[in-house]
Amino acid sequence: MSRDRKDDTSSAPSGAANFPELVIKNTREFLAGYQPSGGNGGVFCPTRRKIPVGEMVAVKVHLGRRQPPSVVYGRVAWRRPGRHILKIRAGIGVEFLASERAKCDYLLNLARAGASARSRRHHERVPVELPVSWRRVGRLEAFSGRMRDVGRGGAFVLSPATVAMQERVVLEIVPPGAQVPMAFIGRVAWIGRSGTENVFGIEWRARDAGGGRRIKELVRRLSDLQISLPPQKLPNQG
């Protein structure tokens, strides 16, 4: 969908919490605005905001009142002014990053399924960009990865290493302000590919009340970090 498309296989860069946010209000708006062309896919976001072409944005997609929104990252590919007489809505065309393909496919399948399918996600996710170390339960070999979002229900992880569906893993995360890593046990709920990396969704499996409290504390710290970050103008990445 981009007129001057450039390959982008990277994940959302640091400072993602400060990207301009666009909102897709419901399933109908997402399906009507979705555009598969351009390699990574994208969406038309109705808005009168004047965000420069090429700037990174976060698109918050709502697919029903009972499902928390998901955040998908992309670049502004084009802008369209409104034409009231012709009933043309003003808006912005966003081309998603290649790293968002698995998330975009998940949302698209969920939206097309309509009322016959519901997301397993019950808590809103916090977009982050944190290095993590993970290993299979009962194994010593550790692998590197990056956590892209996190919530009380689970997390979204990218890693060069592969993992199997339903496998139990241990994630070690050093949240902001902590000196030592916090360990969390989860189950692999889904797997996919994003460019040259593997992506997988983790569903937390707290063994005791203490594990549940650590998860809540992690999400709280990361949410507070987003609120406290000062606004900043990101460099032109086009």
SS3 (DSSP) at 169: strand
Q: Could you tell me if 197 and 216 are in contact, meaning their C-beta atoms sit under 8 angstroms apart? A: no
Q: Once rounded to an integer, what is the mean pLDDT over residues 92-115?
A: 81
Provide the token pair at 10: 């990277």
pTM equals: 0.52
pLDDT at 151 exceeding the cut of 60: yes
What one-letter code names the amino acid at 143?
F
- By CB atoms closer than 10 A (0-12, 13-18, 19+), residue 207 is exposed
Least confident segment among 50-59, 87-96, 138-147, 204-213: 204-213
What's the mean pLDDT when you consider all of the chain? 78
pLDDT at 53 exceeding the cut of 70: yes
